[in-house]
Amino acid sequence: MAKQYALSDDSVVVVIGSGAGGGTVSNELAQKGIDVVCLEAGSRLTLADVENDPPSMDAKMGWHDKRIGAFLWVCKTVGGTTMRWSGVTPRLQEHEVRALTTYGQIDAGTTLIDWPLALGELAPYYDKAELKMGVSGTHGIPLSDENNNYKVFNAGANLAGYKQITSGRMAINPVALDGRPGCQQIGFCNAGCAIGAKWSTLYTEIPKADLTGHFELRANSMAVRINHDKTGKITGVVYQGESGELHEQKARAVCVAGNVVETTRILLNSDSALFPQGLANSSGQVGRNYMRHTFGAAIAVMPQPVNVHRGARQTGILFDEQIHDPGRGFAGGYQLQAHGFDPLTTSNIIGGWGSEHTQFLDNYTKLAGLFITGEDPPEADNRISLHPNERDANGLPVPVIEYRNHANTNAMRDHAIAASQRIYESLGAKHFWGGDAPVGCHNMGVARMSADPKDGVTNRWGQAHDVPNLFVSDGSVFSSSGAGNPTLTIVALAIRQADHIAERMSQKMLY
Amino acid sequence: MDVSRISRRRFILTAVAASSVVAAPRSWLPGSIARADTPADPVLIRLTRLLFPHPGLRDDVYADVADILFTSYANNAATGQLLDAAGFALDEQADGDWFDADEDSQIEALRNIEGEAFFAAILAGLRGTFYYHPKVWTHLDYPGSSKEHGGYKHRGFNDINWLPEVK
């Protein structure tokens, strides 16, 4: 069962964060007999805490510490943003991991690079991740059930001439799997799955790691600084306990997986005489190349009832546009993903007021909806940094998040909105709304993997170029964004990274 | 006018809260502040209806929403200032008392101030209260929480029957 390690025990790997990256790398290491202490800033909920009530769940598990700039829809809780995600799990595609080679450098502002690993190298880890997460429509697992909103999406897309549409690639159990039940079509996936049908590390990786006897989860433990010795070797992590008291957990190696803002903050906040620009930041790339996808939404009033609130929030991916076709006027591609919205979310997405707004809400039962997610190019000035003097309630420098859409992103979004309009109007939609949806749930790039240490922060294993026993294990390592939801790739990379760490340790090459 | 209706009512509400005459007054109207059964303030009901105009949705639902938001806003100095700013700006736009203007002029006044930060803040607060209110959900035929009913697995999640056949 769950172990307890002494603060002075320097044989442990400290993992910062317990979400898709941190929860997975923790469990994978513990399964190999490597001792792990996982520091999680948030508290540990149970399924009994999950209510079909988004605002109260946001209060329980959302990240509310002070931040300046663009909003990120992320979680501070055991399980991290896997508590809130929708479960969509597409793979990266060949043209996406070779972004610079395929697209060329789009303009002087973009900082595209290729991934320093081939897609084929990731493929076996995608298989492992899909089996771990129970991804529907893969490895003999059934497709997800087709809900009403999917059926509208699929019918409209077919009429609009699209072919590659699936109800699979969801990490929500279509049937009972891995000790968890099949989906009961409750909805409210983004407020936490009340029955645990949706994969979340809270009730998969974390309890499995607990059972190994090689793992300790410390909830309510906010990592604030990573310490090193005079040679630059990482020696421990300083964290704040529940009442603000500081501790240092000694460490053999550290995996940082706090999602992009916290990963950036802890690296920059760990500056020292040896690392004056922040830890692992000799390139100056920590916090830069922040990507969050071309993100939009479409909502249509259909001629007859859809009842979009019934069932899983998201089921249905259209892949036809996830190609690189410069004839469309932009580099990279996008996916359309059927997505249902509750009234408040509908109102928030459409925005505005007056009758142009209420003509949608007045037809709530007839609404159909989708999300647009597409590749956005990295830019040096889309970045996360620390405010020079403002401090939050914990005394930490307040993160500043700067992000603006590239022209490529706007062109892609407009193309995707036009495609969405054709889909719904082919079925006689009465009103259509399409636009930006700056949700901030797909967060990538601030410690990206690069072949050349000048271009990024980590190497092909997510290991810091500057610091051998420091790893980054979340979406921060993405070299480019691809079009699809990042979680499956985060999990595949975390499994691969754990294999690498174990191998290096067995070769005595990692202290 | 120097002080908008909204500001006057906010002042009264704040004073009432401070003197603990009533815990949660239903109305900001002078003279009726202590009576919990009086209707909510007509200016705020009007404002809420013009922002989210749902034909057929009764005034008492708008009153409930307006009460929730404006009571919480009025009792906090920072959000109270947002209300003061909105009241002043609307009256200024209407060249008098915004509430007495005709509907088109009221909407035009709102359009003219929609770029202001205070307007955005009030709209966001009102939106969060309005579309989270059970009476509004009932009006929209949105049932809310489903886990206690076993979700929709056996309650129509895939019952759509008007779509064309897909190959």
Q: What is the pLDDT of residues A376-396, one digit of tens each?
A: 999 999 999 999 999 999 899
Higher model confidence: residue A221 or residue B6?
A: A221
pLDDT at A424 over 70: yes
What percentage of chain A reaches a pLDDT higher than 70?
Answer: 100
**A364 Cβ under 8 Å from any chain B Cβ:** yes
- List all residues of chain B from 32 to 51 with a beta carbon under 8 Å from chain A: 50-51
pLDDT of residue B40: 57
Q: A378: distance to nearest CA of chain B, Å? A: 31
What percentage of chain B reaches a pLDDT higher than 70?
Answer: 76
Please state, in angstroms and rounded to a whole number, the distance separating the CA atoms of residues A506 and A329: 50
Q: How confident is the model over A246-266, as a mean pLDDT?
A: 98
Q: How confident is the model over A358-373, as a mean pLDDT?
A: 98
Instruction: Mutate one of B108, B147, B154, B167 to test the A interface: name it (highest A CB count within 10 A).
Output: B147
Please give the radius of gyration of chain A, using alpha carbons only, rounded to the nearest integer: 22
pLDDT of residue A154: 98
Contacts of B141 in chain A (CB under 8 A): 364-365
Residue reference for tokens 């129509």: B156
Contacts of B51 in chain A (CB under 8 A): 353-354
**A343 Cβ under 8 Å from any chain B Cβ:** yes
Check B157 against A347: CB less than 8 A apart: no
pLDDT of residue B9: 63
- List all residues of chain B from 89 to 118 with a beta carbon under 8 Å from chain A: 107, 110, 114
pLDDT at B20 over 50: no
pLDDT at A117 over 80: yes
pLDDT of residue B25: 33
H or E stretch including A96? Answer: helix A94-97
Q: What is the pLDDT of residues A479-506, one digit of tens each?
A: 999 999 999 999 999 999 999 999 999 9
**Burial class of residue A127 (count of CB atoms within 10 Å of its CB; 0-12, 13-18, 19+):** middle
Contacts of A354 in chain B (CB under 8 A): 50-51, 53, 107, 110
Secondary structure class of B61 (helix, strand, coil): helix
Q: How confident is the model over A11-24, as a mean pLDDT?
A: 98
Question: What would be the CATH architecture of the domain defined by A13-506?
Answer: 3-Layer(bba) Sandwich (3.50)
Higher model confidence: residue B48 or residue B38?
A: B48
Residue A465: CB atoms within 10 A of its CB come to 21
pLDDT of residue B11: 57
Instruction: Mutate one of A143, A310, A348, A430 to test the B interface: name it (highest B CB count within 10 A).
Output: A310
pLDDT at A52 over 50: yes
Contact yes or no for A424/A432 (Cβ under 8 A): yes
Output DSSP code: residue A19. Answer: S
Instruction: Mutate one of B129, B160, B162, B165 to test the A interface: name it (highest A CB count within 10 A).
Output: B160
Which residues 6+ apart lie within 8 Å of B3 measured at CB? none
Check A194 against B152: CB less than 8 A apart: no
| Annotated domain spans of chain A | 13-506
Q: Which of A146, A342, A354 sits opposite B107 (nearest CB)?
A: A354
Check A52 against B53: CB less than 8 A apart: no
Q: What is the pLDDT of residues A327-359, one digit of tens each?
A: 999 999 999 999 999 999 999 999 999 999 999
Q: What is the pLDDT of residues B65-102, one digit of tens each?
A: 988 887 777 778 888 888 888 888 998 998 888 989 99
In one-letter notation, the amino acid at residue A31 is Q
Q: How confident is the model over A202-228, as a mean pLDDT?
A: 98
Q: What is the pLDDT of residues A436-465, one digit of tens each?
A: 997 899 999 999 999 999 999 999 999 999
Q: How confident is the model over A206-210, as a mean pLDDT?
A: 98
- List all residues of chain A from 449 to 508 with a beta carbon under 8 Å from chain B: none
Contact yes or no for B49/B56 (Cβ under 8 A): no
pLDDT of residue B66: 87
Q: Which of B35, B64, B62 is nearest to B50 (CA)?
A: B62
pLDDT at A115 over 50: yes
Please state, in angstroms and rounded to a whole number, the distance separating the CA atoms of residues A66 and A393: 8
Q: How confident is the model over A311-319, as a mean pLDDT?
A: 97
pLDDT of residue A369: 98
**B22 Cβ under 8 Å from any chain A Cβ:** no
pLDDT of residue B69: 81
Q: Which of A303, A311, A358 sits opposite B157 (nearest CB)?
A: A311
Check A361 against B55: CB less than 8 A apart: no
Please state, in angstroms and rounded to a whole number, the distance separating the CA atoms of residues A116 and A449: 7
Q: How confident is the model over A35-47, as a mean pLDDT?
A: 98
Q: A357: distance to nearest CA of chain B, Å? A: 8
Please state, in angstroms and rounded to a whole number, the distance separating the CA atoms of residues A100 and A112: 5
Q: What is the pLDDT of residues B126-142, one digit of tens each?
A: 999 999 999 999 999 99
Q: B50: distance to nearest CA of chain A, Å? A: 6
**B78 Cβ under 8 Å from any chain A Cβ:** no
Q: How confident is the model over A89-113, as a mean pLDDT?
A: 98
- Give ipTM to 2 decimals: 0.94
pLDDT at B21 over 50: no
pLDDT at A166 over 50: yes
pLDDT of residue B82: 84
In one-letter notation, the amino acid at residue A335 is Q
- Average pLDDT, whole number, for chain B? 80
Sheet holding A383-391, edge to edge: A68-69, A397-402, A383-391
pLDDT of residue B76: 80
Check A311 against B54: CB less than 8 A apart: no
**A145 Cβ under 8 Å from any chain B Cβ:** yes
Check A342 against B142: CB less than 8 A apart: yes
Residue A426 pairs in a beta bridge with: none
